[in-house]
Amino acid sequence: MGKNVWIGGWLILALLCGGIPAFGQQAQTVTAEGVGAVFGNDRAIARDQAIQDALRKAVEQAVGTLVSSETMVENFQTLNDKIYTQTQGYIQNYRVLSETPGSNVHQVTIQATVAIGDLEKDLQALGFLLGQVGKPRIMILVAEQQIGHQNYNYWWGAHRGTQTDLNVAENTIMDRFREKGFEIVDPQAQAGNIKVPPAFQVVELSNQNAITLGKQVDAEIVIIGKALARSAGSIAGTSMKSFQANISMRAIQIDNARILSSGNENAAAVHIDEVTGGAEAIKKASIKMSDKMMDDILKNFQKRVGGTTLVQLTVSGLTGPDDVRKFKTSVLGQVRGVEGIHERSFSENTAKMDVDVRGSAQSISQDIGRKTFPDFAVKVIRSTWNTLEVQVSPK
Domain ranges of the chain: 25-130, 134-301, 308-394
Instruction: Give the C-alpha separation, 271 to 243, whole Å.
Output: 8
Report the CATH superfamily, name and number, of domain 25-130: FlgT, N-terminal domain (3.30.1660.40)
Distance CA 29, CA 58 (A): 9
Q: Do domains 25-130 and 134-301 have the same CATH topology?
A: no
User: Rounded distance, CA 46 to CA 52, Å?
Assistant: 10
pLDDT value of position 102:
86
pLDDT of residue 249: 96
* Gap between the terminal Cα atoms of the chain: 88
Burial of 77 (C-beta count, 10 Å sphere; 0-12/13-18/19+): exposed
Q: What is the pTM of this model?
A: 0.61
Decide which of 3.40.50.10440, 3.30.70.20, 1.10.10.10, 3.40.50.10070 is the CATH code for 134-301.
Answer: 3.40.50.10070
Task: Name residues whose C-beta falls within 8 Å of residue 70's C-beta, 6 or more positions apart in sequence.
Answer: none
pLDDT score, position 226: 95
- Predicted local confidence at residue 86, as pLDDT: 81
Averages of pLDDT over runs of 10 residues in the chain (395 residues) are 40 35 62 90 88 91 78 77 82 92 90 86 66 75 88 76 64 88 78 82 92 90 94 84 94 91 94 90 95 85 66 90 90 87 91 84 81 88 86 87
Indicate the helix (H) or strand (E) that contains 111.
strand 105-114
**Can you list the alpha helix ranges (DSSP code H) found in the chain?**
2-17, 43-64, 69-74, 76-82, 116-125, 128-132, 168-179, 207-215, 274-306, 321-334, 361-370
